[in-house]
Every structure is written in structure tokens, then in C-alpha cells.
Amino acid sequence: MSFQKLETVLFQDKLKNAACEIYKMVWPGCKVIPLQSKTETPNLLDKVFGIDLFIQLETNSKITIQEKFRANHFLKYTDFTQEYKNAEGTNFESNGEWFNLAADVYFYGWSDHTESFFVKWALIDILKYKLWVETVGGLDKVGSYMRNNKHGRASFYAIPIIKMIPLFLTDYRKYPVKDF
């Protein structure tokens, strides 16, 4: 595992409990079921469908969740970053998350400075999100195309999160986070 990957995994691990607390607040009585992987190989559901975990509701029905945790210093941008291509411009270029996203809900949150809780977060209805992008004519109509040449050469679209409020699954104002 590379240093970059290890740093990212450690950051995510610090915030898993905070995300679980939010899920339990939004869906009281639910069980959070993470995808288990015994190896460094990504779980097939994550790799092919963009699913990180399941929420099992009290009726035993399940909601699939994709998660993205962002460091506090990224809050200044207040954008949703949709990965588009991996290793863009290299022999290893491949479709990114946008092309595989099949989860029901996208949890997107920014951590506090101590990386122990979320200062802002949203639960985005992925079907509404994809239909919105389709209706307006593509990601380039809702966000700015960017490339990350520092880590992995991924490309992404930076979408102002305020544009996405109608796609939120919950009323963000009733939960203990700051307004967008």
C-alpha cells in the first residue's frame, strides 16, 4: 500500500464512526453494514457500482451508500467533486466514479480540523443527481472540469454544492451542521 493510499485510508478510518452517527440520526434504528474486504483489492460492489456500505433499515430493507470524506481545508471551495477519469492522459486511463455510480445515496462531508466529526455534510439522492446532470446536458454544464496532477492524475468536475441542495435526500437545516 502506498504512502498516499495509507494516508487516505487513515483519514477515512478516523471519520467512519462520525458518518455512522449521522446515518443513525437520519435513520433511527438502522444498522450500518460496511463492505468487508480481506485484501487490498477493492470490493467488487465498490469498484463496479460505487457502493461503500449498506444501511439496513428497521424493516430490513437496504440502502446503498457511496461515501466521500473531505479534509477541512477543502471546505473553502464548498464544492462537490465528481471523479470523472482515473490516470487521465496515461496508458492506464480508465473511467472514474461517475461511470460506475450506482449506489442509492451519496454521503459527502467535510471534517473538522481534528478529523473527528463533520462540520458540513449532505446525503445526495444519486438518481436525482444523475437525472439532473442528464437533463442539463452533462457534467460540464453543472461544474468546472479539473485535473489532479498531484495524486493519480484523476480528472473531476467541481460542482458548487449549493446547486445540489434540491438533490439532498434530507433537509440539511434540521440537522446540527452549518448552512451551505
Confidence of residue 7 (pLDDT cuts 50, 70, 90): confident
Residue 108 or 179, more confident: 108
pLDDT above 70: residue 5? no
CA angle 53, 55, 57 (to 5 degrees): 165
Ordered DSSP codes for 45-58: HHHHH---EEEE-T
pLDDT above 80: residue 65? yes
C-alpha cell, 86: 482515473
Compute the distance between CA of residue 180 and CA of residue 175 in angstroms, rounded to an integer: 12
Confidence of residue 1 (pLDDT cuts 50, 70, 90): very low
**How many residues in the chain?**
180
pLDDT of residue 9: 80
Compute the distance between CA of residue 158 and CA of residue 111 in angstroms, rounded to an integer: 18
Start-to-end CA distance of the chain, whole Å, equals 36
Percent over 90 (pLDDT), the chain: 71
Ordered DSSP codes for 106-118: EEEEEE-TTSSSE
Q: What are phi and psi of 14, to 5 degrees?
A: -60, -30
Task: Using alpha carbons, select from 26, 45, 24, 46 the residue that is nearest to residue 124.
Answer: 26
Mean pLDDT value of segment 142-149: 92
pLDDT above 60: residue 174? yes
pLDDT of residue 179: 64
Place of cell 471523479: 83
pLDDT of residue 177: 56
Instruction: Give the Cβ contact number of residue 117 at 10 Å.
Output: 18
Q: Are strands 105-111 and 62-70 parallel, antiparallel or unpaired?
A: parallel
The residue type of 149 is: N
Mean pLDDT value of segment 129-149: 96
pLDDT above 90: residue 134? yes
Place of cell 461515501: 67
* 3-174: CATH topology: Trna Endonuclease; Chain: A, domain 1 (3.40.1350)
Lowest mean pLDDT among 28-32, 38-42, 104-108, 139-143: 38-42
Q: What are phi and psi of 120, to 5 degrees?
A: -145, 145
What is the tens place of the pLDDT at every residue in 24-64? 999 999 999 998 665 667 787 887 888 999 999 999 999 99
